[in-house]
Structure 1
């Protein structure tokens, strides 16, 4: 076995390797990854026992005296997401372990659940960030658009049971430092809090090895088209779930409230929202002034423009631009300027 820790995902039918040390591996079955390892059976037994008990284990193989160490990766709801495993001689200490962070996305509700470790790995400050009831857009770096993010966004927009994803992206942490994060997820059907079946993505993240920064044309174009006072984002056109901010997150309405199962717009504006949906289905940009959640129980008029963009083949999202409306736009919408 390699000298690095193996991160093994245990949510599928067979344990699968997703990382060697900090290096991403694409859900390789443990039997294939360690097919030439004479201790494969003992390692599989150790993984199974640690996954079943939720405990760290240390065992010794009977013939060659190899030490096998395991560390479980347990989600906050008690579900086992994976096991870290290392094997080596008894007189050798294992290398430092990159700590995985378990996480969960309810793709039906559009709500994310993190853990302190997954937040830290993702560059957030776990001392101030909530772990439960998070909007999807809180888990994505704003003002950055990476080439490999489209697959993750497409998984959120068009989820299906059994989908898996292994990817790595570059980001900036809450202190402004460049970081690299690897991520694995698997979709499955689970009972939701409302008693219905939900599609839930469970996964793990960890800090990957840093690389030299690269210049992306799409990122430079995105920044070049930025306008003062306008905040752009990607959203799910089916549920109007906010997926990712492309500019600084909007400060004048409470976009996080939707993750708390609250209305995304004022109930009286639902017809306008439905009309917008019909417009961009035909390929045109849709525009309206909608009352969005404000502080407490208040509502804030927001000028909203949405166009449809293709993330992956036949998988679409909405590119939304929001700003404060002018007095004329408020009057046209029949809303007070006070």
Structure 2
């Protein structure tokens, strides 16, 4: 996984574990798409730290349950190590579904997800400099084509990206949460979805706010079907 573009460069074998056919396989995938497949990630803070800010010498051995393409859950062991230049993280997966039952979310995590059901409010961990989603906190919006950006073009409309970047810069300099106004996000079939956004700082436990990543609350300005 590259920390410069948040893309996962994967072998076909890793995709086959999730049921991906070779004719449907692509050598790159968004980190947000992979993480969205997860049901439960153990040591989540450590997982995010080593993938978002890799440093030489770091290592993590953890477990996660993920959704197979056919819908059933799988239990994986994941071993993570930064690359020698710390430009990304190497991840080795082992499928233990036949040995251990898949992990399940805690009651608090399920409550958060269910509490957001029925609302059109979505929260993303955002790299404002690149205009890309690193991961979704809770469920992702069904009305945005986030899985296909940047392969099918930018996620944030180029004319609106400076608004989002300016709001992120203000909150990272210590100002309270900022609205970046209405921005256009990539929808389906070439359409842009106008959305209101609220930008907040992002930080790990006992760490200062992240210098590059922010939390963005996204709400469509019109009802989406």
TM norm structure 2 = 0.76
Question: Secondary structure at the residue paired with 1:199?
Answer: coil
Q: What is the correspondence of 1:1-338 to structure 2 with a 5 Å cutoff?
A: 105-121=1-17, 124-127=18-21, 129-142=24-37, 144=39, 146-189=41-84, 199-208=87-96, 209-211=99-101, 213=103, 216-228=106-118, 229-236=120-127, 239-260=130-151, 262-281=153-172, 282=174, 284-287=176-179, 288-295=181-188, 298-314=191-207, 316=210, 317-326=213-222
How many residues align structurally? Answer: 214
- Please report how far the alpha carbon of residue 161 of structure 1 lies from its aligned counterpart in structure 2 after TM superposition: 3.8
- Please report how far the alpha carbon of residue 147 of structure 1 lies from its aligned counterpart in structure 2 after TM superposition: 4.4
| Cα distance in 1, alignment partners of residues 16 and 72 from structure 2 | 13
Instruction: Decide whether aligned partners of structure 1 residues 226 and 237 sit closer, same or farther in structure 2, where only a CA change above 3 A counts.
Output: same
Instruction: Report if aligned partners of 1:234, 1:242 keep a CA contact under 8 Å in 2.
Output: yes
- Please report how far the alpha carbon of residue 138 of structure 1 lies from its aligned counterpart in structure 2 after TM superposition: 1.2
Instruction: Report if aligned partners of 1:187, 1:201 keep a CA contact under 8 Å in 2.
Output: yes
| Cα distance in 2, alignment partners of residues 280 and 313 from structure 1 | 18
| Cα distance in 2, alignment partners of residues 239 and 162 from structure 1 | 27
Instruction: Decide whether aligned partners of structure 1 residues 200 and 157 sit closer, same or farther in structure 2, where only a CA change above 3 A counts.
Output: closer
- Please report how far the alpha carbon of residue 252 of structure 1 lies from its aligned counterpart in structure 2 after TM superposition: 2.3
Question: Secondary structure at the residue paired with 1:267?
Answer: coil
- Please report how far the alpha carbon of residue 297 of structure 1 lies from its aligned counterpart in structure 2 after TM superposition: 5.1
- Please report how far the alpha carbon of residue 223 of structure 1 lies from its aligned counterpart in structure 2 after TM superposition: 1.9
- In structure 1, the gaps of 5 or more residues are 1-104, 191-197, 328-338
Instruction: Report if aligned partners of 1:135, 1:256 keep a CA contact under 8 Å in 2.
Output: yes
TM norm structure 1 = 0.54
Residue by residue over 1:292-317, the C-alpha shift from the partner in whole angstroms, topping out at 9 and shown as x without a partner, is: 22346543322223323333442645
- Please report how far the alpha carbon of residue 113 of structure 1 lies from its aligned counterpart in structure 2 after TM superposition: 1.7
Question: Secondary structure at the residue paired with 1:170?
Answer: strand
| Cα distance in 2, alignment partners of residues 212 and 294 from structure 1 | 33
Instruction: Report if aligned partners of 1:142, 1:246 keep a CA contact under 8 Å in 2.
Output: no
| Cα distance in 2, alignment partners of residues 200 and 213 from structure 1 | 26
- In structure 2, the gaps of 5 or more residues are none
Query: Please, what is the CA RMSD of the aligned residues?
Result: 3.1
| Cα distance in 1, alignment partners of residues 195 and 47 from structure 2 | 28
| Cα distance in 2, alignment partners of residues 168 and 300 from structure 1 | 36
- Please report how far the alpha carbon of residue 137 of structure 1 lies from its aligned counterpart in structure 2 after TM superposition: 1.0
Tell which structure's C-alpha radius of gyration is larger. 1
Residue by residue over 1:253-301, the C-alpha shift from the partner in whole angstroms, topping out at 9 and shown as x without a partner, is: 3213434394342222133112220343226333332112234654332
